[in-house]
Amino acid sequence: MDNDTAQDIKSLRLNGLPADMRLALKEARQKRGWTQRDLVSRVGLTQRHISGIESGKIVPRYDTLLELIRILDHDLLMVPRDLVPVVQSLIRDHLKDQSSEGEERSLYADNPGEQTNEERHHEV
């Protein structure tokens, strides 16, 4: 490998996982009601290693990161950079919908307060 390539690769190495990814891993673990030790028993790492990943002190190998993500019932996707805001918006909407359990929304109403055809029909 030539010197320029080695420098380019080295400059891409992270000091830690991005904060939003670390937070997502921690929240996924907590949502399942798992402690770090519970996750350790499923993944085969040490509690210190899990803590280091969540705090950003340790950057996991790619295969370790994939295993953690999959055990937490998530997935890692490659998304074209210009579509990231759209995907993030979809995820936010999905999470918001989950938090309002049991609340039904009209699939076709543009306005949350707008009546459906069925509701209008019953008023007559």
DSSP label at residue 107? S
The two tokens of residue 116 are: 């459906």
Domain spans, the chain = 13-96
Q: What pLDDT is recorded for position 49?
A: 95
> SS3 letters for 15-77?
CCCCHHHHHHHHHHHHHCCCCHHHHHHHHCCCHHHHHHHHHCCCCCCHHHHHHHHHHCCCCCC
The per-residue pLDDT string of the chain (124 residues; one tens digit each, 9 = 90 and over) reads 555 555 555 555 667 789 989 999 999 999 999 999 999 999 999 999 999 999 999 999 999 999 999 999 999 889 999 999 999 899 889 888 876 655 555 555 455 555 555 555 555 4
Q: What angle do CA 108, 112, 113 make, to 5 degrees?
A: 115
CATH architecture of 13-96: Orthogonal Bundle (1.10)
Provide the 3-class DSSP secondary structure of residue 120: helix
Structure tokens at 123: 């008023």
